[in-house]
Amino acid sequence: MTTKTLVLFSFITLFLSFASHARSPHNIIGTVINEQKGPLDDVSITIENASAITNNKGHFLIKAPTAETYQLIFSKAGYYPSIQTFSHFELSNHASLLNSKLTEVILVKKNKNRVMLAFGGDVMMARRYYKPHFNATPIINEQTKLADSKGVIQHIKPYMSIADYASVNLETQISKSMPKQKAPKSIVFYSQPEILDALSWAGVDYVTLGNNHTYDYMNEGLSSSLDFLQKSKLDFSGAGFDEPQALKAHHQKISNSEFSMLGYVGWEGRVIPTQTANSEHGGAAFGSMKNILESVNKETAQNKITIAQYHGSLEYENNPTMVTEQRLKSALDAGASLAIAHHPHVTQGIELYNNKLIAYSMGNLVFDQYFPSTPLSFILYVWLDQGKFHRAEIVPLYLKAFRPSPATGINRDKVMKRLSVLSKQRNTHINQSGGHGVIVENDTSKTTDFQSVKVSFDKNEKVTQLPLFLWHKQLSKIDLSPQKNTDSTPKAVNYRLGTNLINGSDFESFNYFENSEQSWLFDEKIMSLNHYGASGYKSLALTLKGQQKTMFGMKYFARVYARSNPMTIKAKIKTSSLIKIRFYWQGRKKGQKLFTALQESKKHLIKEVTLTPNKSSWKSIEVDFNSPRYGYKSYRVIAEIETINGKKSQVDIDDFSLIEWQTAFSRLASPQLPNLKSKQAQFIGLDKEITNSIELQYQ
């Protein structure tokens, strides 16, 4: 498939029942422009039951029924369509921050030789999709495999379908049952054949097989995989029964251009047989420097626009290894037009190298990992003009319950802030188009636009969240003066900056896109979702009866963390009767099995807090401690909540965060940001309580 028809539907989920009364339609105001920043008229903007047309200034106002999420489809003859998804919570806050308007949405013009490509990260549907942890309901059932497989990726279907050609990394073998042959390695995957039909249905055209799971069940599994792929609608390359076959490119005509698609894995493997194809057995294409240069040169010599996809680097790291970086840059030097990489399971930066794009890690697209860093991902659009880079656009994603969906609110902020910081260190700047990121050709300029925002602190609060929607800018100045004590005498205040290790901690997206968040530990029998919150429209409620205890907190361990680091557990809580809350940290030791750690590892008491009943106001809880120094590979924080007077109690919880401080306390007006994490800060903490706001400046 070389062109597609825009799928004019959206997956707008449940209507909000804010409190118990109906709400009036929500007005969404914005502007649509072209790449030259000129207004675009006659652009159609549609939401499920509403539509609007831009005027001659590119402005639009669309009145949409109040919903939890709004998926806007922008379309105009002669332009590529754009799909943007926002939550009601972030639109309400976004409007007040940005003068009642969305950030301008930019449409890309079509021309005869322009091609729009879409890329996603690692994909598998195995393991916990069929047998989830904690006795959860299976995501894919044997009786309804195809429908369930489509359901996993239904929310990215509109995004993939608008591209001329879409690609993902298929990190699994394909078989109806477990093959008998198994590679001598600890982790192996196979997925049911329905995954291929689901990917094709969702708009994916091509899969790269150049990865470390293509040969998990050796030749038997490879034979099954290639057989099912040949019968499917998907194109593929990157594996074969010998090295020449594995290194063979897939050739594809897209619009008016001839493309070559190459896929490689970056290492041969530590065991015999290796995971790479050779004269003795099959496997993935080995992405050695020699193989990359020879295969890229072969394709470019035939005047093919060559795309190199590479599987390498180290898992969960911020940056690629130097081996990966050198191989990808060498592929571009040899004539490849674009380099896309994966394997770390987390996103890494994007670089414009000699005006050719490198995406160093796409992260996960469909995967069952539960570490907090792995669900944050993106789709990458790339426009090429006869092989020359024109433009890229980043669609932030969040894998909620292992299902990719548009990232909104604090999840969008996390995805985009990380990519922006990691790309900026490579002199590549990400700008905005609505809620997406944009990279344009030959743009290495630094923004000089300043934006000032005031941040206030509630009573008994020394830690607060930094503003969302400024992920494309860096915090450049903090004005802490004048700060006064209650007796009006001046006082010096220090600040520090930190990141949150828990996703979705404001619960705003808890039940978006037909799935509930799976990362929280709580008793489902006593939990309910409130349509009000301390900072937005959602919070969780736990209803305790009599003298009852319950646990709440992180269901899983945070895999990557800073050892012996200052930490703060922050939450907003209110209760209808007297309760005690005991905060603990619990670690998973090196070599310890997950469920052994969950059930047997010691819970270390951090602090006990007593809360008195107050149905009308939220109490800010801030508990400081230090992360484990040694002996643990991961840890989590949990709270034991207990009623102490025998009365029934509803305990409301919001903004439950685990903040890892990235800077020491300072009073410097220009913050010193010593590492990549500090530049991704989401929270600011003070060493004293203040009664007035502070001013932040972003550049």
**627 CB contacts (<8 Å, ≥6 apart)?**
561, 562, 563, 564, 565, 567, 585, 635, 660
DSSP annotation of 536: S
* C-alpha closest to that of 623 among 603, 604, 609: 609
pTM, rounded to two decimals: 0.94
114-127+144-391: CATH topology? Purple Acid Phosphatase; chain A, domain 2 (3.60.21)
Hey, what CATH class is 521-661 in? mainly beta
Question: Is the separation of the CB atoms in 210 and 311 below 8 Å?
Answer: yes
pLDDT digits (tens, 9 = 90+) for 100-140: 457 899 999 999 999 999 999 999 999 999 999 888 899 99
pLDDT digits (tens, 9 = 90+) for 643-686: 988 888 999 999 999 999 999 999 999 999 999 999 999 999 99
pLDDT digits (tens, 9 = 90+) for 446-502: 556 788 999 999 888 999 999 988 999 999 999 987 665 555 566 789 999 999 999
Which pLDDT belongs to residue 17?
32
pLDDT(14) > 60: no
Domain range list for the chain: 26-106, 114-127+144-391, 521-661
The DSSP line for 167-229 is EEEE-SEE-SS--S---SSS---EE-THHHHHHHHTT--EEE--STTTTTTHHHHHHHHHHHH
* C-alpha closest to that of 567 among 621, 521, 623: 623
Residues 687, 153: Cα–Cα separation, whole Å: 45
Which pLDDT belongs to residue 489?
61
Question: Is the separation of the CB atoms in 699 and 473 below 8 Å?
Answer: yes
Domain 26-106 has CATH 2.60.40.1120: yes
pLDDT(6) > 90: no
The DSSP line for 673-690 is --STTGGG--EEEESS--
